[in-house]
Amino acid sequence: MFSFQKPSIDESFNSSQMPGCSQATFTQAEKVCASIDSSEQAKLESDLVQYLLIMDQKKLPIKKIDINKNVLKENSRAFPVLISRAAKKLETVFGIRLISLEDKQKGTYILVNTLDTDIDDLTADHNVPQVINPVEWSEEDNAKTGLLMVILSAIFMNGEVMMDTQLWHMLKKVGIDPDYTHEEFGDIKKLITQEFVRQGYIDYIRHPNSDPPVFEFRWGARAKHEVLKRSCMDFVSQVFGIRLISLEDKQKGTYILVNTLDTDIDDLTADHNVPQVINPVEWSEEDNAKTGLLMVILSAIFMNGEVMMDTQLWHMLKKVGIDPDYTHEEFGDIKKLITQEFVRQGYIDYIRHPNSDPPVFEFRWGARAKHEVLKRSCMDFVSQLYEIEPEQWKSQWQMVLEEEQPGGQGD
């Protein structure tokens, strides 16, 4: 389900609590309205609703000064009452709510959707949700919305803030080079740092006193009101075949993203003959090599009864030509890679035996490996490596069969 955020009553435009408008001001506006002919009032309300909708098509913040200049004109003193009526009509008829941006831009408003939008409403060509528009969008608009959703999701998944260099690098990895004019989007950097910023979807903030200038991206006011963070999770999950897993049993409030796509033995990476353990974009040679080593280790732990002493693992690695006591040409510090990086990523648990002196450690599969890596993949990997049928490892083969039963990991 892709849902737009529903603003709370406190967030939404409310005539009795209108920012910058005291009760006395509102009462005065009611007196001004009373002096205007009823048919003229109705026309002003209708014109105001139409103006708000037209301005929102451009996704630009709507300013009170422009409303008074272009719509209300000599009746501008009636603004509090007329904008309140227009807001009620927008929400009742169109399911759109008027939001004040008083916290940043006094006298500025945006329109946001209050209706749930299902995942079936994803735009056909770009497989991304349309981020509110009550009228039909052009193909160019749909494409831009797709790019916008990618960017908002990236910012959210990066801890709700992203340096500009990080965003440009991420876009290059998905095939959109911001240093070149794009066939569909044109000037990528201008689109993101000017158009999306002007529309209120993205904040582009310079770090104070940075020289050379350093910029970061955050969600803008419109995105905060329109887009649910859960929608970003759903979007990332659908596009990249991953899901959010809670680690409540070990680390309260901690989550990991894990692969939801089957990894077959045919998906083994050509250079290292092991499956890529999740990455939706192209990997570097170093990443592929590390994934190869990781698959060797996970397979060894599984084939050893799902637990392996550190001394056993170091001995096994030496036998396959990787000496953990020396800096490796491709992997660097082997022990640091395994006991820190792979552990931090959640693929491996590195556990000290209680009260052991000298300390004794063992390796087990980590939470991410348990959710991402099928035991059958390990069996297939080892079987190909040693040219032995997997059924010959009876206990491990039984675990594979159990995994593939309904309700198991492979289900």
Buried b (16+ CB within 10 A) or exposed e, 64-96: beebbeebbeebbbbbbbbbbbbbeebbeebeb
Can you give the pLDDT at residue 349? 93
Spatial separation of the C-alpha atoms in residues 406 and 150, rounded to whole Å: 34
Spatial separation of the C-alpha atoms in residues 5 and 226, rounded to whole Å: 5
DSSP one-letter code for 68: I
Please tell us whether the domain made up of 255-403 is placed in CATH 1.10.357.10: no
Can you give the pLDDT at residue 376? 59
Helix (H/G/I), strand (E/B), else coil: 261: coil
List, as one string, the DSSP characters of 197-239: HHTTSEEEEEPTT-SS--EEEEE-HHHHHHB-HHHHHHHHHHH
**Residues in the chain, overall count:** 411
Q: Is the distance from CB of 37 to CB of 78 less than 8 angstroms?
A: no
Tell me what percent of the chain is helix, strand and coil, each rounded to the nearest 5. 50, 15, 35
Question: Under 8 Å CB-to-CB from 364, ≥6 apart: which residues?
Answer: 301, 306, 307, 308, 348, 349, 351
CATH class of the 120-238 domain in this structure: mainly alpha
Ordered per-residue pLDDT tens for the chain, 411 residues: 334 454 443 344 454 445 445 566 667 777 777 778 888 888 988 899 999 988 887 777 788 899 989 888 988 888 888 888 888 888 888 888 888 876 556 788 888 876 544 333 433 343 333 343 334 445 666 778 888 888 888 888 777 888 999 999 888 887 889 999 988 888 999 999 999 998 888 999 999 988 899 999 999 888 888 777 767 766 666 665 555 565 555 555 555 555 554 443 334 333 333 333 333 344 456 667 788 888 888 888 887 788 989 999 998 888 878 899 999 888 889 999 999 999 988 888 999 999 899 999 999 988 877 777 665 566 665 556 555 555 555 555 555 556 555 555 554
Q: Is the distance from CB of 72 to CB of 82 less than 8 angstroms?
A: yes
The answer to whether the Cα torsion of 149, 5, 58, 120 is positive or negative is positive
Helix (H/G/I), strand (E/B), else coil: 179: coil
Question: Under 8 Å CB-to-CB from 37, ≥6 apart: which residues?
Answer: none
Question: Under 8 Å CB-to-CB from 9, ≥6 apart: which residues?
Answer: none
What tokens were used for 59?
């996704």
Long-range contacts of 219-224 (CB under 8 A, 24+ apart): 219/152, 219/155, 219/156, 219/160, 220/196, 221/101, 221/103, 221/104, 221/110, 222/59, 222/110, 222/112, 223/152, 224/5
Q: Is the distance from CB of 90 to CB of 45 less than 8 angstroms?
A: no
Can you give the pLDDT at residue 351? 94
Can you give the pLDDT at residue 191? 94
Can you give the pLDDT at residue 10? 39
Question: Under 8 Å CB-to-CB from 97, ≥6 apart: which residues?
Answer: 7, 12, 13, 87, 90, 91, 111, 112, 113, 114
Can you give the pLDDT at residue 311? 92
Can you give the pLDDT at residue 157? 76
Question: Under 8 Å CB-to-CB from 407, ≥6 apart: which residues?
Answer: none
Spatial separation of the C-alpha atoms in residues 300 and 369, rounded to whole Å: 13
Q: Which residues pair with 63 in a beta bridge?
A: 108
Q: Is the distance from CB of 202 to CB of 219 less than 8 angstroms?
A: yes
Q: Is the distance from CB of 302 to CB of 377 less than 8 angstroms?
A: no
Long-range contacts of 323-331 (CB under 8 A, 24+ apart): 330/286, 330/289, 331/289, 331/290, 331/293
**Ranges of CATH 1.10.10.1210 domains, the chain:** 120-238, 255-403
Can you give the pLDDT at residue 125? 40
**Element holding 24 (H helix, E strand):** helix 23-34
Can you give the pLDDT at residue 11? 44
Cα dihedral 64/107/92/28 (nearest 10) = -80
Can you give the pLDDT at residue 244? 57
Supply the pTM of this predicted model.
0.51
CATH fold of 15-113: Arc Repressor Mutant, subunit A (1.10.10)
**Ranges of CATH 1.10.10.1200 domains, the chain:** 15-113
Q: Are strands 186-187 and 361-365 parallel, antiparallel or unpaired?
A: unpaired
Can you give the pLDDT at residue 391? 56
At 137, the amino acid letter reads: W
Per-residue pLDDT tens over the stretch 323-348: 999 998 888 899 999 999 999 888 88
Q: Are strands 361-365 and 332-333 parallel, antiparallel or unpaired?
A: unpaired
**Element holding 293 (H helix, E strand):** helix 285-303
Can you give the pLDDT at residue 118? 38
Helix (H/G/I), strand (E/B), else coil: 330: coil
